[in-house]
Amino acid sequence: MRYLPLTADDRRDMLNAIGAQSIDDLFEDVPATARDAPDLKSFPRHLGEIEVERRLSAMAGKNVSAGDAPFFVGGGAYRHHIPASVDHIIQRSEFLTSYTPYQPEISQGTLQYLFEFQTQICMLTGMEIANASMYDGSTACAEAVLMANRVTKRSKVVLSGGLHPQYADIIETNARFTGDQIVRKAPAPEGQENLIDLIDDETSCVVVQTPSFFGNLHDVSELADAAHANGALLIVALTEVASLGALKPPGDMGTDIVVAEGQSIGNPLNFGGPYVGLFATRKKYLRQMPGRLCGETVDADGRRGYVLTLSTREQHIRREKATSNICTNSGLCSLAFTIHLSLLGEGGLTQLASLNHQAAVRLAEMLEEVGGIELVTPSFFNEFTIRLPKPAEPIVDTLAERGILAGIPASRLYPDDPTIQDLLILAVTELNTPAELSELRDALSEVI
């Protein structure tokens, strides 16, 4: 028996209403190589439940998870230890069954942890206000650009060559529909680039990442001053939020908007998500900030309570005047973030950051002793770039066959740039043991 709610006539009427000839037209932006993948075509149209379980289990068994091998992959998603208490607490029924607060004041527990989450983000970033989370770091970054355009009433966007290329891609995708002018710098593995000369009186914002995609650390104070002198905003993106346990907060360097991927705290890699986007800014830009904002108040009896102070979304009273089409916050992921960070405390986060940096420095020193390997990144937190005497991608593939997940070849995200084919980006966290560091060094030494 088939449970299809729409008839063929229903579907034809819907297609006619949107001007599409067929359902296939709705997928024209998906590359043909993905739509016509042999594995998908060979998959049966229907199977029994037991057969489906066996089939999917066999497919899943081909994956190698981050915990099954020495793991040095970062590039925006990092493997950190998550205390078992985090999963235990988020699965309590009080949290797990309280989803998005459409009748917000009824969900006092949900509002309270979102308020605590916002407070944590402000403390981490050095900013004045933060929203109740977004989908992930990349979409938060794109929303920051849209916000800067609203604030400045301009549309020229300068993107650093150290910004994660997928973050930059999403900003450019938005620009196809908004008409923004995107000035995107070439990749900057060594971290040296001049963004100030690109700022003029038409510039809406400058977007820079620190630590950068290649691992470089930046003091953005001078860049912030240059942006402000021209009436532009500075947006700082972070993909490794654990770095804020060691580095100067972006807000202390004059940043106007800070966006970050919060996955490193409380949320496992999980083959790609769900993650949690962080978004913080200055109080004067409050009403231009996307997402929702929780606030603290008192009730009629003077008792402390929490309210949904601001929700400039299209599902609420702003409708078509909303600042964002983001339809929800990453509630459960932000809860996991809040619990983990609360368990760590300030001292624990600082110690975690120190362990990450120490392990990365140790590996960098070990690899510099290997003939033919050059350290490209002059300063870094827990992720750095090395130059190999051969193209990096085949070396990574060879080490993967040996059971070592040896980082990200820069060419994977910059396939058309011949200058970075020999660059390998390595991430090291507190979970990498000294034995794993030695194993990677020995394997690279042998392969190159």
Q: What is the pLDDT of residue 273?
A: 86
- Residue 373: its pLDDT value, please? 97
Amino acid at position 45, single letter: R
Q: What would the pLDDT profile of 326-363 be if each residue is shown by its tens digit?
A: 766 688 899 999 999 999 999 999 999 999 999 999 99
Please check whether residue 236 is in contact with residue 209, taking contact to mean a CB–CB distance below 8 angstroms.
yes
Helix (H) or strand (E) holding 159: strand 156-159
**Cα 348 to chain centroid, rounded:** 23
Q: pLDDT grade, residue 95 (50/70/90)?
A: confident
Q: Report pLDDT for 64.
A: 84
**Cis ω on the peptide bond leading into residue 274 (within 30° of 0)?**
yes
pLDDT at 361: 98
Of 190-194, 230-234, 250-254, the least confident: 190-194
**Nearest one of 175, 254, 165 to 214, comparing CA atoms:** 165
Between residues 107 and 156, which one has the greater pLDDT?
Answer: 156
Q: Is the pLDDT of residue 315 over 60?
A: no
* Domain 66-81+346-447, classified CATH 3.90.1150.10, yes or no: yes
Which stretch of DSSP H or E encloses residue 229?
helix 221-229
Average pLDDT over residues 179-200: 96
Nearest-angstrom CA–CA distance, 139 and 326: 9
Q: What amino acid occupies position 214?
A: F
Pairing between β-strand 374-375 and β-strand 304-311 as defined by DSSP bridges: unpaired
Question: What are the CA-CA distances from residue 187 to residues 38, 219, 234, 240 (Å)?
Answer: 34, 18, 19, 19
| Closest alpha carbon to 332 in 288, 241, 270 | 270
Rounded to the nearest angstrom, the gap between the alpha carbon of residue 296 and the centroid of all alpha carbons in its chain is: 28
298 compared with 324, residue with greater pLDDT: 298
In the chain, where does the domain assigned CATH 3.90.1150.10 lie?
66-81+346-447
Q: Please report, as a single letter, which amino acid is at residue 342.
A: S
Rounded distance between C-alpha atoms, residue 448 and residue 370, angstroms: 9
Q: What H or E segment, with its residue span, contains residue 292?
A: strand 292-298
Kindly tell me if the per-residue pLDDT of 318 is higher than 80: no
Indicate if the pLDDT at residue 241 is higher than 90. Answer: yes
pTM: 0.91
pLDDT value of residue 328: 62
Q: Edge-to-edge strand order for the sheet containing 203-209?
A: 129-130, 277-281, 257-261, 233-238, 203-209, 156-159, 181-184
- Cβ-based neighbours of 402, under 8 Å, separated by 6 or more: 443
User: What's the mean pLDDT in 417-424?
Assistant: 96
Instruction: Give me the mean pLDDT over the 193-197 stretch.
Output: 97
Q: For residue 82, what are the CA distances in angstroms to 95, 261, 336, 337, 430?
A: 18, 16, 9, 10, 11
For the chain, give every residue range classified as CATH 3.40.640.10: 84-341
pLDDT band at 46 (very low <50, low <70, confident <90, very high): confident
CA–CA separation, 386 and 374 (whole Å): 5
- More reliable by pLDDT, 392 or 1: 392
Contacts of 134 (CB under 8 A, 6+ apart): 140, 143, 276, 277, 278, 279, 290, 291, 326, 329, 330
How far is it, in rounded angstroms, from Cα 332 to Cα 335?
Answer: 5
Options 3.50.30.10, 3.40.50.720, 3.40.640.10, 3.40.50.300; CATH for 84-341 is 3.40.640.10
List the beta bridge partners of residue 384: 426
**pLDDT at site 313:** 55
What pLDDT does 199 receive? 98
pLDDT class of 160 with cuts at 50, 70, 90? very high
Q: Does the pLDDT of residue 135 top 80, yes or no?
A: yes
Please, which pLDDT band fits residue 198 given cuts at 50, 70 and 90? very high
Measure the CA–CA gap between 220 and 228, rounded to whole angstroms: 12
DSSP at 298: E
